[in-house]
A and B are shown apart, each in its own frame.
Chain A
């Protein structure tokens, strides 16, 4: 069993959220600045990789939205398809994007089906890349102890 470094174990939790927030920032600024759903998804996947190294790949998979990379990727594709449907129903060609603004008093919030589509890309890339990475990281992770309960305590007891 590979012993897990204590330092990584301690910083993993805050770092995980920081990376995810960064990935969301990258996702939302993407339409005007460098970034977007694809890069955001890659960044988010790196957060999952971090968690997998700190706490085990199964723990990282459970921490994903929906608890499974496969589901996450599938939902991402589903959202992408969904974002194209409104235009299609209204007789425009599929994936013609709509823009609108929601007044919030002080400022206006711009909403669009483009953003929905990009969120779909984000989720799919996160799910798929994390799926590959976690599956690879999971290889050889299993000792005789069931890895599903893997955590710092288990590791310490093991080693």
Chain B
């Protein structure tokens, strides 16, 4: 892929970023666009950009520009680089659609699009089985959540009688909880939790790290995994007062934050360490959405932005180390600052922001989070989790920024380590520097965060206080966190060994193991059910099918037993009786035949008897048709049977084992059908339609044969459809039968050849 093509691809997010900036400066929010799409279902392409959407859009396009540039350098010379760029572009479009859509169905479509493209991106190195497995896991977890989300959206849309997100959010606070709304709430929570890797669906995110680094930085830290948080924040003004909502978000978020940080200590792969800390951050974000109060709202906006600005560069750093040394395992890395000075600088700046050092945007985010908690009602667990979270964030930042670049000179097993090109160095440096810039001059984003907060909690005013750069009370807790974090960092290896032992106990019952178990269970279950239902024995299929029909019809009959009117006895003609005797004779005779050909003839007797019957009840056309069809059928099948017999196949009847069951099912089905016919014939006949056709046949259609007039004139379109179906069925069956014939031809040729050989 040439320079020009890469530059052209990178222009896409850059141009979009400029558009978004123009939107932010020039247009009064919220901006609304709308096109009609499926008016009958209330689905229209509604798009609405408010502060929250704007914040997400800036992250998508801003980090997107860096990712596109970085991908150009990271996959330099990769034969499928173009595919990566196309997928990344599609992904960016899906994200933009998702955070601007104001219609539940449209939002869901873009949401699913991100899941699908994520699958393709995680599995980008599809020759590796690990990549394929991770991609499948990501798709199954987020896709299942997507299904729950769709169900939740449909229930919510039905209960609210509109699909417009903004209308639903505006109306919800006035409503009392109903079972429908609660169901919708739970389903939407499942969807959001799977997407944002919340406990117990957290395990897919670190495994998704088998994606190329630009993908991890873009999808799995800066944008896609934040969609769940985005959706929760979007719906928070509506559901915020619900106890279930509040406690689910607080509980699951805190648990995820704590658990993610603990699991980060277990890992030795730099990228996976970063992934677990992303899981923890997502948990913190979910918890903050669940907290009440304006401070929490501002904190969500600030942390969203801060995390994108430090985590994406850190992923780039991990990618650069991988690119320059060929490994990401921290035991084999050390003292890289000489070989990779620019990457080291980027890591240091981004790490400072992640650790919440003063003069970085991470510090401001942390400051706001602390004040948010301070203002809230007592929630000890959340606060404790946050202390752990902050401390381990410091440790993770120190591992990524200090350990591999400044420490462990003896660990440097990679003397060939080298710095990447400009495309690899510039994106992390620029993003990290933006983080510092906003840390020093927070008023650049003050307006943006304020707008986002207003979108999440209407009437928020507290933002101005939070965003000033102050070295006040937060300083103390920052110092505490720093101290604990540094201790964790220093004792990283002993802690790691300890958690390995814990994990050995937890592993067999953990979620990842359960997932594996469920995944392996699917083919086993499919195999078992296939053995049971699809056994390949035709008599068995017949018994099952007819048995179920008989059972269901019998249940219906029993249910309506009292309402039935039984027909009276009417004298019948001799021909009528004769036809019935013919049918009965054929049916009874066929019971005692062991030869297929004779059996066919007996069954044919039933058909001819029916034709005679039709003659006597005034349906000559039907009788005529029945005669011809029955003759052709018997002749063709008899001919096939004879040929099979000449080949020595198809002799005698198989399936003796089915006989007793088949007898029961046959008798039951016969009885049920006879009952239905009896009951149906007793219902007074509505002759208005047949009277109409009889009256209109000659004057309107010039024909005296009413049956034919109906077929070719009154209901000609139906007939046209029927003959089209007849033709299409032949189109489908013809090649199949031709293939069977060709197979038999080659078999017979082989036989002939072997005979010739013996002679």
Contact = CB atoms under 8 A, between A and B. Distances in A.
A146 B410 CA distance: 81
Interface stretch (B23-31, B463-471, B698-706): B698-706
A111 to B, nearest CB: 11
Nearest to A138: B741
B629 A42 contact: yes
A20 interface: no
A158 B172 CA distance: 86
A127 to B, nearest CB: 7
Nearest to B640: A136
Given A39-B624, A70-B734, A132-B730, A142 B744 contact: yes
A105 interface: no
B674 interface: no
Contacts of A33: 704-705
Interface string B719-747: 11001101101110110011011001100
A80 B636 contact: no
B702 A99 contact: yes
A135 B642 contact: no
A140 B748 CA distance: 8
Interface string A40-75: 001101100100010000000000000001100110
Contacts of B704: 31-33
A141 B482 CA distance: 88
B709 to A, nearest CB: 7
Interface in A8-50: 26, 30-39, 42-43, 45-46, 49
Contacts of B734: 69-70, 131, 135
Interface residues of B, number: 52
A106 to B, nearest CB: 21
A133 B745 contact: no
A41 B484 CA distance: 91
A99 B720 CA distance: 19
B717 A94 contact: yes
Contacts of A143: 748, 752
A74 B705 contact: no
B708 A35 contact: yes
A84 B720 contact: yes
A91 interface: no
Interface stretch (B135-143, B238-246, B441-449, B643-651): B643-651
B338 interface: no
Interface residues of A, number: 56
Contacts of A139: 640, 643, 737, 740-741, 744
B632 interface: yes
A142 B742 CA distance: 9
B741 A142 contact: yes
A80 B723 contact: yes
A128 B726 CA distance: 6
B705 A35 contact: yes
B741 A112 contact: no
A135 B738 contact: yes
Contacts of A38: 625, 711
A135 B733 CA distance: 9
B720 A35 contact: no
Given A140-B744, A144-B749, A95 B717 contact: yes
A34 B424 CA distance: 85
B502 interface: no
B702 A127 contact: no
A81 interface: yes
Interface-centre pick from B643, B709, B716, B744 (highest chain A CB count, 10 A): B716
Given A97-B713, A112-B702, A39 B628 contact: yes
Interface-centre pick from B621, B707, B730 (highest chain A CB count, 10 A): B730
B324 interface: no
Contact of B723 (A46, A112, A121): A121
B631 interface: yes
A127 B730 contact: yes
Interface in A91-124: 94-95, 97, 99, 110, 112, 114, 117-118, 120-121, 124
B475 interface: no
A43 B631 CA distance: 10
Contacts, number: 169
Nearest to A31: B703
Interface-centre pick from B703, B740, B744 (highest chain A CB count, 10 A): B703
Contacts of B555: none
Interface-centre pick from B636, B640, B709 (highest chain A CB count, 10 A): B636
B588 interface: no
Contacts of B708: 30-31, 35-36, 118
B635 interface: yes
Given A42-B625, A137-B636, A121 B719 contact: yes
Contacts of A69: 730, 734
Contacts of B741: 135, 138-142
A140 B738 contact: no
Contacts of A99: 702
A118 B716 CA distance: 10
B724 to A, nearest CB: 5
A114 B703 contact: yes
B691 to A, nearest CB: 20
Contacts of A80: 719-720, 723
A70 B731 contact: yes
A142 B646 CA distance: 13
Contacts of A35: 621, 624, 705, 708
B712 interface: yes
B625 to A, nearest CB: 5
A140 B650 CA distance: 13
Contacts of A94: 717
A122 B48 CA distance: 59
Interface in B595-643: 620-621, 624-625, 628-629, 631-632, 635-637, 639-640, 642-643
Contacts of A26: 624
B712 A117 contact: yes
Contact of A141 (B635, B643, B719, B723): B643
A84 B49 CA distance: 53
A5 B364 CA distance: 100
Contacts of B727: 73-74, 76-77, 124, 127-128
A101 B88 CA distance: 70
A34 B620 contact: yes
A137 B723 contact: no
A153 B125 CA distance: 65
A67 B701 CA distance: 35
Interface of A: 2, 26, 30-39, 42-43, 45-46, 49, 53, 69-70, 73-74, 76-77, 80-81, 84, 94-95, 97, 99, 110, 112, 114, 117-118, 120-121, 124-125, 127-129, 131-133, 135-144
Ordered nearest first, which 8 A-B pairs have the shortest CB separation?
A135-B737, A142-B745, A31-B703, A36-B708, A42-B628, A144-B752, A140-B643, A124-B723
29 contacts: A30-B708, A32-B705, A34-B621, A35-B705, A36-B707, A36-B708, A36-B712, A42-B632, A46-B631, A70-B734, A74-B727, A84-B720, A114-B703, A120-B723, A121-B712, A124-B727, A128-B730, A131-B733, A131-B734, A135-B734, A135-B737, A136-B639, A139-B741, A140-B741, A140-B748, A142-B741, A143-B752, A144-B748, A144-B752
Given A46-B631, A121-B712, 6 more contacts: A34-B705, A35-B621, A36-B705, A94-B717, A132-B636, A135-B734
Interface of B: 620-621, 624-625, 628-629, 631-632, 635-637, 639-640, 642-644, 646-647, 701-705, 707-709, 711-713, 716-717, 719-720, 723-724, 726-727, 729-731, 733-734, 737-738, 740-741, 744-745, 748-749, 752-753
